[in-house]
């Protein structure tokens, strides 16, 4: 059984979105981070056992910028925590899911990550994440 680790929300600007989510969640942003490989700035909030990750593109050609251009700001992905990302990637590949990256890559919040293609998950972008050891 997978545990929801965080929900990723694409935003145009963290400067506007962080105060909004601080009010909405009645919680302070506890961490911001630049993820060079994904060309995003992130901001994290805790809400119960789950986190909210705001993602703002640092590049007009980046994945988040293109997502916002196509669909607008909003939910971008749901991330699930896994104990062994390599085993889980292999299991899901054997189940017929399409991985967007063949090997885990560096993500925010000290995680290794892998995304599943949304065409195989009812249109929802799924992220697997594992704490780096």
- Burial status of residue 58 (CB atoms within 10 A of its CB: 0-12, 13-18, 19 or more): middle
3-state secondary structure of 92: helix
Residue pair 80/6 in contact by the 8 Å Cβ criterion? no
3-state secondary structure of 51: strand
The pLDDT of residue 111 is above 90: yes
- DSSP state at residue 121: T
Taking only the tens place, the pLDDT of each residue in 35-83 is 999 999 999 999 989 999 999 999 999 999 999 999 999 999 999 999 9
């Amino acid at each position: 059984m997978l545990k929801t680790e965080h929900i990723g929300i694409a935003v145009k600007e963290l400067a506007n979105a962080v105060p909004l989510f601080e009010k909405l969640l009645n919680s302070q942003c506890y961490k911001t981070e630049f993820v060079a490989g994904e060309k995003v700035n992130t901001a994290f909030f805790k809400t119960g056992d789950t986190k909210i990750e705001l993602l703002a593109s640092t590049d007009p050609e980046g994945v988040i910028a293109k997502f916002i251009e196509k669909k607008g700001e909003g939910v971008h992905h749901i991330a699930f925590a896994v104990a062994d990302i390599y085993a889980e990637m292999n299991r899901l590949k054997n189940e017929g899911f399409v991985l967007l990256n063949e090997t885990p890559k560096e993500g925010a919040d000290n995680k290794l990550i892998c995304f599943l293609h949304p065409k195989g998950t009812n249109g929802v972008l799924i992220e697997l994440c594992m704490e780096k050891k």
